[in-house]
Amino acid sequence: MAQVVRKAVIPAAGLGTRFLPVTKAVPKEMLPVVDKPAIQYVVEEAVAAGIDDVLLVSSPYKKPVEDHFDRAFELERRLEDKGKHADAAGVRALAEIAQVASVRQGEPLGLGHAVSLARRHVGDEPFAVLLPDDIMVDGGELLRGMLAAYGETGRSVVALKEFPMSEISSYGCAAAEPHAGNLVRVTQLVEKPKPEDAPSNLAVMGRYVFAPAIFGDLAEVRPGHGGEIQLTDAMATLMAREGMFGYVFSEGRYDIGQKQDFLRATVELALEHPDLGPEFRQFLVDLAKRHLGL
């Protein structure tokens, strides 16, 4: 039986240039989606799936991301002094949601390099990788399914989602064969192919469960454009040697690395918010009436 996956790695060292100028001083992972920073959704997803040991791969410019999951004693004390006990408890809970550690990526040398920095923390265990540009609002369902698939097969698992062929060039793409249920057997990985060259319409999403052997493969990857170590290259080597499965899903994902999807996530999640939802829904109805003449 495969080892239980107990650890998650969240690469959070990117510069967030698509959201400049706000990301000049604010890490993109700290941009709020309704009333929580984006990174909190990702950590909560890992916890909901049963993982409580999280490593943030950060950078010298991302200290607020690390601080968000640390104690803030002065803030807690002031809230308690003002009788805001629920707010104080909420702030305190962020430091207790999981065991959150961090390691710094000194240079932007690619996603593969960022994942490789988790080797000492992860050790000889399988682990999950969650990219923070993708937030999953599904109560951890996708990640739980992927963890279960790893437990059943003992092979690495990547999340896959169907996209129109016209959009496939924005993603890694997987050729796959049917296996069982949501699982497919991955036979080829292609990084951002042209639509006419894509082996399928299955795009690689930002959720992975890796066997620890991926670290050895990352160590052998030669730097590509810009000196970056590509995770896809190591995955292709691992797949050829051990095999790899894909877990196909369709719902719950927001690509908040894109402005349009960031706005969509903010609106849709605000509508579902128990306190904000009803009033915000009425605001949107009134707004549509004014602008569309309804």
The pLDDT tens digits for 208-226 are: 999 999 999 999 999 877 7
Look up the CATH superfamily of 7-257: Spore Coat Polysaccharide Biosynthesis Protein SpsA; Chain A (3.90.550.10)
Cα separation of 151 and 130, whole Å?
Answer: 18
Please report, rounded to a whole number, the percentage of residues in the chain having pLDDT higher than 90.
77
- C-beta separation of 19 from 66 below 8 A: no
3-class DSSP state of 126:
coil
Question: Based on C-alpha coordinates, what's the Rg of the chain?
Answer: 20
pTM across the whole model? 0.93
Delimit the CATH 3.90.550.10 region(s) of the chain. 7-257
Cα separation of 248 and 85, whole Å?
Answer: 43
Tokens 């927001």, residue?
A: 254
Non-local (6+) Cβ contacts of 180 within 8 A are none
DSSP letter at 274 equals T
Tokens 């239980």, residue?
A: 4
pLDDT digits (tens, 9 = 90+) for 4-62: 899 999 999 888 889 999 999 999 999 999 999 999 999 999 999 999 999 999 998 88
pLDDT value of position 123: 94
Instruction: Say which amino acid occupies 80.
Output: E
